[in-house]
Amino acid sequence: MTGLTLLHTAEVHARTFQALAPEANLTQQVRSDWLARARDGIGADLRAEIAAAVTGANGPVLCTCTTLGPVAEEAGAIRIDWPMMQEAARIGGPVLLTYCLDSTAEPSEALLRRAFGRRDPQLAPLFLGQHWPLFEAGADADFSAAIAKSIAMALKNGTFGCVVLAQASMAGAAALLRAQTQVPVLDSPEMALRALLAPR
């Protein structure tokens, strides 16, 4: 089969996808510097680098960084969160949209609203940036547990159609949450890979 190129901004994502599809022909590029540079806006130089990586790949390209998603999509890549947002639209709102980086909020909300079309997703954003230092320190289990705890508290205080974990880095919290709630909890890595590897 044609190879799939994945563009990551953290090494943990490469490990995640290798575990999800050990037999798949994956070319994984990790560019943590791209996210660091994009936190305050994506300049022309970074935009050009992302476009070059996408157009230079052999076969489909998946961008696993939500912040860089719109720019990667412009260059022809597939955004990791698109299948997840489509599923959120299928389930319906209110949608609890959770994220850890301010730079994620706008592209995530825009993509969610695109998936919902004319319908109102009844969006409830939940910023969890206080937990991001755990991810940056490589404390993956602690990060996932903290994310799950904060979201579980929000679920007790409101009624939601589904939870969207906007960043791929948050996917570890999904299983913890599913053990506590009947509300569908959507994470992007597995859904995106399943959609890309599905027979055409």
Tell which residue, 38, 32, 25, 27, has the closest CA to residue 8: 32
What pLDDT score does 6 carry? 93
Give the confidence band of 199 by pLDDT, cuts at 50, 70, 90: low
Q: Are 174 and 15 contacting, i.e. CB atoms less than 8 angstroms apart?
A: no
- Burial (Cβ within 10 Å: 0-12, 13-18, ≥19) of residue 67: buried
> What is the C-alpha to C-alpha distance for residues 29 and 116, in angstroms, rounded to an integer?
31
Q: Quick check: do 4-80 and 82-187 share a fold?
A: yes
What pLDDT score does 1 carry? 44
Per-residue pLDDT tens for 37-72?
A: 988 888 899 999 999 999 999 888 999 998 899 999
What pLDDT score does 4 carry? 87
Higher-confidence residue: 146 or 32? Answer: 146
Q: Are 64 and 168 contacting, i.e. CB atoms less than 8 angstroms apart?
A: yes
- Residue 132 burial (CB count, 10 A): 17
Average pLDDT, the chain: 92
Whether residue 2 has pLDDT greater than 80: no
The residue whose two tokens read 């022309």 is 44
How many whole angstroms from its chain centre is CA 126? 15
Class of domain 4-80: alpha beta
Per-residue pLDDT tens for 21-39?
A: 888 888 999 999 998 898 8
Domain ranges of the chain: 4-80, 82-187
Give the confidence band of 17 by pLDDT, cuts at 50, 70, 90: confident
Q: At what angle do helices 82-91 and 188-197 cross, to 10 degrees?
A: 100
Per-residue pLDDT tens for 92-127?
A: 999 999 999 998 899 999 999 999 999 999 999 999
> What is the C-alpha to C-alpha distance for residues 88 and 199, in angstroms, rounded to an integer?
23
Say whether domain 82-187 belongs to CATH 3.40.50.1860.
Answer: yes
